[in-house]
Structure 1
Amino acid sequence: MGFWSEIVGQPVAVEMLDRAASYEPGAAAPAHAWLITGPAGSGRSNLAYRFAAALIARSESDRDRVFAQVKAQTHPDLGVLTTQAAIIKIDAAREVVTTAHYAPSDGRYRVIVIEDADRMPEHTSNVLLKAIEEPPERTIWVLCAPSEADLLPTIRSRTRLLRLVTPSIEDVAQLLQNRDGISPERAIQAARLAQSHVGMARRLATDDEALARRQDSIKAALSVHTLGDAMAVAASLAKIAQTDADALMDRLDAREREEAMRGLGLAPGAAIPPRLRSQVKALEEEQERRRKRSLRDGLDRVLTDVSSVYRDVLMAALSTAEEQDLINIEFSRAIADLAERWVPEQALQALDAISDARGRLMRQITPGLVMEALFARVVMIHNRVIDAHRKVQM
């Protein structure tokens, strides 16, 4: 299945969606609404857009051409609802619901992809619910969310659920080798450090600066022992996150613009005809909104990396992991030292602290304050262990 080859570790999902998009005469029509769930990095959005292209294309041979337009979000039969803010606003939902009633102009179906269905507050969800309850004949909805629990029960009950799993490190590494020409050693390292997140693994495998920033984050997290350390590390990680976010946005913006120009049939650097300027302007506005959220996204990536440290400490403290089972093998000695000083409960408390910090970032609390509070809490956890050891020695 060459068309689906970049969907990693999801054979059951691919088979189901490929069958649903069948071109066989007399084949049953696909469900009018789908909900694709799975952990970060499992490929929810990528799978949704592949499925959209397969549904729109009029033949199997036409899938790749359609996907190029779908990926650039320039296909006339594709609608997309997403956001770079904390929530999807009701006006955006109303607009896409209106377009759902248009008949497909080029393909078999009109497909509406909602990338961040978990970011819809109840009043926004109710707008979508009405559209799904009374679907147009040739419109198909594809929703993406981390879990079905993130959506209203009334929406869940009207969709066909497809749960994705976390791909294996080996599967992700193989994709990097086959698609991007990465060496086996670098591919395995990137897949391991990214915890099987496909997009992040590719970035770590192809961007030496991104890999170096991740390693700096791990070093910083392992250096926290005092309150002074906590404040310094919080500032250091915020700087790393901003640098990483800026670098990612620059590359992403350039690639999206190039793909959009190609999808519109324009050569790189060509003048944009007046009739196409609104589409390019919409892309630029979306990129600007995304940049405003980039620091929080960058900090969330940093916190994911830091949580892998305390996951490794927990595994080592429980004596359930060999060195090769660690995510951060490069820091195995420092992790083993911390595991000897900490008991498993402290590592769990540190993981809870990171989870709380990520929740605060989602609630729009000032990032600097979130990071300072997190590492101050880590220091308290560290000091409780020291105090406990001192009491034992007395």
Structure 2
Amino acid sequence: MQTDAPEQPKTGVWAEVVGQPDAVQTLFAAVRAAHLQVRGEPVPPGSMTHAWLFTGPPGSGRSTAARAFAAALQCSDPEQPGCGHCSACRTVLHGTHADVRLVVPEGLSISVAEMRALVQAAARRPTTGQWRIVLIEDSDRLTEGAANALLKAVEEPPPRTVFLLCAPSDHPEDVSVTIRSRCRVVQLRTPLSGAIAEVLHERDGVDAELAQWAASVCGGHIGRARRLATDEEVRERRESVLRIPLGLRRFSDVFTAATGLVKLAETEAVTANEDRNEVEKEELKTAMGAGGTGKGTAAATRGANAALKELEKRQKSRATRSQRDALDLALVDLAGFYRDVLVTRAGSTAPLNHPDFERSVAKAAAEWTSESALRRLDAVLECREALTQNVKPIIAVEAMLAVLYTG
């Protein structure tokens, strides 16, 4: 029996959700129901709920889908919610809508104090929009106390508040099972390379051949594909990482490669945050009356210094997270290389993660046994796990590279 499902939109905010037709159809149906609910009209049962959990592999576009959903909920176009042109859509996508609270953790965790303040704000009625929306990226970074504070709000939500959570997976260790049980899960998948290449070429203006290459080596990570296609330094960093497996000829190369890999992550973290850090410092100094003269300036200067120290503390935490993320991305590339070696040795026709390094993969497959390649792959995965346990990066990387050398 056929059902009258709303036609899936391909324009407006939904065009940003790449390669996720099933998820978009689910979200669009919920938006239609939400607009009916606001107007007091009958709503199809189960189509709209107050809490959503967006899950999927890294790069699948969890936060992009959540932002598109939030924009469509606030959209002022009743015929095509999520038009992308109205003021509500634009302000939500830019993070400036008064009724949408966006939480992007800049440190390694989300504190209970931050979550309590957020829950209090979420209890208020919307001011300019149709809904009060709380969007939490990387909700797997919630501390236990923060998760408990959020749980209370999700259990007894205000009538016009929607919670949107994003997490790498729906495993109980990532997001509290009590929170998951109260959310409707939207499972995203890894986008196909063809869909990624099409977006890079048609919307970002990337050369078709370069777009196809970036899509083939990004591991289904849309943001990574865009950076690879538009930034030569990113391409060079990837190549330097993928030269490591065959570059370990002497044991001394282990320490050289470890230092280089950690510095590579540090450099990427600095590059990603440098401009933003300076802008934040200047804005804070201006707000605190830096350079002022006259009565009261001494007290203002003391207050500015205290605020500046707090800002520097947050920036340091953000830099640590950026470095860990950059290093983890390098490890994912390494893991992909050893996976390609195993695929080649098995004679499989499965596509390679790094097709542009096919010759290096074939050389490694001819020199190593499958057991040796598997031990190397395990070492990379163990290093990733060690970094999540706050092991010092240089120690974790040196231990990994020692195994990569010996096999």
Shared fold per TM-score greater than 0.5: yes
Q: Distance in 2 between matches of 1:272 and 1:72?
A: 23
Q: Residue 20 of structure 2 aligns with which residue?
A: 10
Output one character per residue of 1:341-390: Cα deviation in whole Å (capped at 9) or x when no partner.
22223222222211211122222221111111110121232xxxxxxxxx
Q: Give, in whole Å, the separation in 1 of the partners of 2:213 and 2:219.
A: 10
**Aligned partners of 1:350 and 1:71: how far apart in 2?**
42
Give the 3 Å change call, closer, same or farther, for CA 337–83 of structure 1 in structure 2: same
Instruction: Tell me whether 1:209 sits opposite 2:227 in the alignment.
Output: no
Task: For 1:304-383, list aligned pairs within 5 A.
Answer: 304-321=332-349, 325-381=351-407
Percent identity, aligned pairs only, is: 38
Q: How far, CA to CA, are the matches of 1:7 and 1:284 in structure 2? A: 35
Structure 1 residues 33 and 83: CA distance shift in structure 2, 3 A: same
Partner SS, residue 148 of structure 1: coil
Amino acid at match of 2:205: G
Gaps of 5+ in 2: 1-9, 290-307
Alignment length, in residue pairs? 361
CA contact under 8 A between 2:72 and 2:82: conserved in structure 1?
Answer: no
Partner of 1:131: 153
Q: What TM-score do you get using the length of structure 2 for normalisation?
A: 0.82
Q: Deviations over 1:314-359 (max 9, x none)?
A: 111111137xx22222322221111122222322222221121112
Q: In 2 relative to 1, CA 321–236 (structure 1 residues): closer, same or farther, beyond 3 Å?
A: farther
Amino acid at match of 1:167: P
Comparing 6-15 with 56-65, which one deviates more in the overlay? 56-65
Normalized per residue, the structure richer in helix is 1
Matches within 5 A, 1:244-259: 244-250=268-274, 253=276
After superposition, give the CA deviation of every residue in 1:146-203 in whole Å (9 maximum; x if it has no partner): 1111222211110101100000111111110111111111011111221120001000
Letter in 2 for 1:10: Q
Whole-Å separation in 2 of the counterparts to 1:62 and 1:184: 28
Q: Is the 8 Å Cα contact of residues 116 and 144 (structure 1) preserved in structure 2?
A: yes
The one of 161, 178, 187 aligned to 1:154: 178
Answer yes or no: is 1:31 the counterpart of 2:49: yes
Per the alignment, do residues 315 and 172 of structure 1 end up closer, same or farther by CA in structure 2, a change over 3 Å counting?
A: same
Cα 1:27/1:236, change in 2 over 3 Å:
farther
Give the equivalent residue in structure 2 for 1:241: 265
State the distance in 2 between where 1:178 and 1:272 align: 42
Change in 2 beyond 3 A, CA 1:55/1:359? same
**Preserved contact between residue 217 and residue 240 of structure 1 (Cα < 8 Å):** no
* Letter of the 2:162 counterpart: I
Residues 17, 51 of structure 1: 8 Å contact kept: yes
CA distance in structure 2 between the partners assigned to 1:287 and 1:27 by the alignment = 48
Letter in 1 for 2:109: I
Within 5 Å, give how 1:141-220 maps onto structure 2: 141-149=163-171, 150-220=174-244
- SS at the partner of 1:107? coil
Q: Which amino acid aligns with 1:9?
A: G
Three-state SS of the structure 1 residue aligned to 2:64 is: helix
Pairwise CA distance, 1:62: 6.2
Which letter maps to 2:340?
Answer: D
Structure 1 gap segments, 5+ residues each: 262-270, 275-280, 382-394
Matched, 1:79 2:101: yes
The separation in 2 between residues aligned to 1:151 and 1:380, in whole angstroms, is 38
